[in-house]
Chains A and B, each alone.
Chain A
Amino acid sequence: MASALSGAGRSYRHDSLAATPDKCTLGRVEVKEVCHEYLSPTDKTPVAALGPVSLQVSAGEFLCLLGPSGCGKSTLLMIIAGLFNPTAGTVVVDGVAVTGPSRERGVVFQDYALLPWKTVRSNVALGPRLAGASRREANQVADEFLELVGMPQAGDRYPHELSGGMRQRAAVARTLAAKPKVLLMDEPFAAVDAQTRGVLQEELIGIWARTAQTVVFVTHSVEEAALLADRVVVMSTGPGRVQEEFPVTLPHEDRFSRESATRVAEVAASLLASVRTAQPRRPRRGGSWSG
């Protein structure tokens, strides 16, 4: 145990935030024939929620998972993270099958999941700390990442003292500070206002351009997918499957400009058409879909 930990310590290297070239070759995700069943809470019979789903994400790609509520997006993301074991199929990252969670696959949870008993700085420093960095070193890294997400002054505050948007940034900073190869984000900006969302989206793309991490980004919003993705995977319900894939070829650096707004809107419109056909035939209220 001790040796494994000290080994882990050496593996945390804090280079500058600039992309290191070799990073682009890491973080390739392959989802192979993955199915997932939940036990129904009433009679304990298995209910198919997902799959079979197969998809590939290349290293450094920004992939958006888009689909109606309840189609299994979160389930798929948790399976890639290694937090759920799929009922069937495997997830392979850089040639190695996923068997459990790892710091190589960082997750930004929908409800932030910041630890309330830690200051924002300590939350962000947790990844480096667990990788063996000293407290000083980890705090320094944390401050850099807090700066990166635009909240350099918030380090000493506790999560409950932050606004929703700031919590979201802190959660993103915490996941980034652990230097994952793959960034898994579950509707990270769903709970913030439109204005903040726009800022966060642009910041995320800026950060991603520098770190060159692979991103799997779950969203409900066709506009968000059109703004962010290299490729959009539209899923359908009952049980969740891949319905259609859309490469988005607009250059990332242009998408936030006013001139390209119409082109982004066109992409969003075609995504919307696809999502419409992915809706279940008997539409249900949102509440009954999410666990």
Chain B
Amino acid sequence: MNTSERPKASLRPSTFARRAVLRPGLVPVAVVLGMWALLPSLDHLPVYKLPHLAQVASELWHLAVTGAIFNALGDSLSRLAIAFVIGATLGVAVGVAVALSRALNDFLMPLIAFFNAIAGIAWIPLAIVWFGFGSGPVLFVIANNVFFIVLYNTLLGAERIPPVMYDAVRTLGGDRRRTIVREVLVPGAMVGVLGGLRTGLAFAWRALVAVEMIAASNGLGFMSIQASRVFDGSTVVSVILVIGTVWVLMDRLLLRPVEALTVRRWGMLGGADL
């Protein structure tokens, strides 16, 4: 147990939450928007290559008023939720099982190492053949992606548990299996699990849009690729803005609070935050 870098940890959640809500990096955002607004006048950049800030703003407004962007967002988010829950649940479950059983570990690790190396997106062609166009391939690719990331991180988390934690519980009367899983393995692997969930969600969100561009007929990715076919750069950029904003919100409102309530509170994060 590393005890040297912990004292501030208990103060962090609240400052974190406040900072995240009140000051979500407004200054750098304003600088970038300002540069974007000035760019067209500095150079003769054609609008189809980079639409003007004002155009995008009005397009975004239009998409919001008609509800088109919310429909697309809803489609994408519900896919993300379903795929994420499936992938993450299986990832944690298999991770715990592999961490517990040497036989399972020996059998599955080579497979896991192999499939982990295959980017989720590499499955798209096959997934389309299996499931046809639509939500099927999107869900498959994303869940698959999340599964391996979460599994891998769960295993890493389990590996990092100091053996003396197991010894302590066993000398207090814990039997090998049941209590050890509940008292040591699951909470001890939590740093890894949460890290995996976070990375998994981040990857899933990126990949989701890409897969929707290829394999779906609705959602943000589809909206973007459709717009690009008619050289509607404003919509493409609008989608980019939405994707980024939604991620920041998910991270700050969902992932960080969960972390603050668990591993951060337990002093198990060295203080480095992504």
Residues of A that sit less than 8 Å from B by CB: 1, 8, 78, 81-83, 100-103, 105-107, 109, 111-118, 126-127, 130-131, 158-161, 164, 174-175, 178
Which chain B positions have C-beta within 8 A of A107? 167-168, 171
**Which of B162, B169, B170 gathers most chain A CB within 10 Å?**
B170
Residues of B within 8 Å of A81, CB to CB, are 167, 171
Q: B177 — nearest CB in chain A belongs to which residue?
A: A1
Minimum C-beta distance from B97 to chain A (A): 19
Rounded to whole angstroms, the CA-CA distance of A266 and B266 in the bound complex is 46
**Which residues on the A side are within 8 Å of B179 (C-beta)?**
130
Ordered by A's residue number, 18 sampled pairs between the chains whose C-beta atoms are within 8 Å are A8-B173, A78-B167, A81-B171, A83-B167, A83-B170, A100-B170, A102-B171, A103-B171, A107-B168, A112-B1, A113-B168, A115-B183, A115-B188, A117-B188, A126-B172, A127-B173, A160-B3, A174-B172
Question: Which residues of chain A have C-beta atoms less than 8 A from B9's C-beta?
Answer: 160
B10 within 8 A of A: yes
In Å, the complex CA distance between A7 and B58 comes to 72
Rounded to whole Å, the gap between the CB of B170 and the closest CB of chain A is 4
Q: Which of B172, B265, B267 contacts A106 (CB 8 A)?
A: B172
Shortest distance from the beta carbon of A11 to any chain B beta carbon, whole Å: 10
Cross-chain contact A115 with B173 (CB below 8 angstroms): no
Q: Are B169 and A126 in contact (CB under 8 A)?
A: yes
A88-B173 Cα distance, complex, nearest whole Å:
25
- In this complex, how many residues of chain B approach chain A with their Cβ under 8 Å: the count is 29
Nearest-neighbour CB distance to chain B for A212, whole angstroms, equals 20
- A contact residues around B266 at 8 Å (CB): 116-117, 158, 160
B167 and A130 form a contact (CB under 8 A) = no
Docked Cα-Cα span, A185 to B167, in Å, equals 14
Which chain B positions have C-beta within 8 A of A116?
1, 266-268
Tell me if A115 and B164 are in contact (CB < 8 A): no
Q: How far is the CA of A130 from the CA of B170 in the complex (A)?
A: 10
Q: How far is the CB of A175 from chain B (nearest CB, A)?
A: 8
